[in-house]
Amino acid sequence: ELKVEQNPLFLSMQEGKNYTIYCNYSTTSDRLYWYRQDPGKSLESLFVLLSNGAVKQEGRLMASLDTKARLSTLHITAAVHDLSATYFCAVDISPERGSQGNLIFGKGTKLSVKP
Amino acid sequence: GAVVSQHPSRVICKSGTSVKIECRSLDFQATTMFWYRQFPKQSLMLMATSNEGSKATYEQGVEKDKFLINHASLTLSTLTVTSAHPEDSSFYICSARRGPTGNTIYFGEGSWLTVV
């Protein structure tokens, strides 16, 4: 059974601090996505990681992918209140399904950044 | 602007009735779209893969007769919740990949369904 495990599930940070969210998965996928969800809203695409060793950065967020360890990380640098949201990682299982875009999501990490 | 659009964004229906949710790709053709369900404070669960011109593929545990999916054109997939019950109340979200080799998967704005 495919598992996508995120931790922590809840994260309360102070502004200015750094932290990392971890995403472990059990399939052999080499394609992983990170999304942000604000309360009551749909998903906003943050990063698409397509190969082993991929690293992408946007502002205070940086994501990486290690397909051998089946691990992706989302690192937050000098957090600000605007980053408060729920962050999901999702593994692309399309190759297994012969389709294009089947995603299995982690449970999400609810981030709260406090002044 | 939105790349994948859903309608309606919110719908309230009576128990036992059916409700249809539309998912459109706005400026690209999508031979495959995906439907997810998200209960409050939970993650997204893949319900089914909508295939243009053929039957949808449902995930294990999802009732195909209850959640009818029609992908009649390259830009439109519909999800019909039949004989809805309060436990079907949820946030339904569709997604599509932009092109067969596109790397980004876009999500619609989501549809809040409340069954009373």
pLDDT tens readout for residues A20-50: 999 999 988 778 999 999 999 999 999 999 8
Q: Could you tell me how many residues make up chain B? A: 116
Q: Which two tokens stand for residue A51?
A: 């190969």
pLDDT of A97 above 70: no
Q: What pLDDT does B2 receive?
A: 65
Q: CA angle A10-A16-A19, nearest 5°?
A: 40
- Residues in chain B with CB shorter than 8 Å from the CB of A41 are 109-110
Q: Which two tokens stand for residue B91?
A: 């946030």
Query: Which residue in the set A45, A90, A99 is minimally distant from B32, CB to CB?
Result: A99
Rounded to a whole number of angstroms, the distance from the CA of B105 to the nearest CA of chain A is 7
CB contact under 8 A, A50 and B103: yes
**pLDDT number for residue A70:** 94
Ranges of residues in chain B with a pLDDT under 70 are 1-2, 99-102
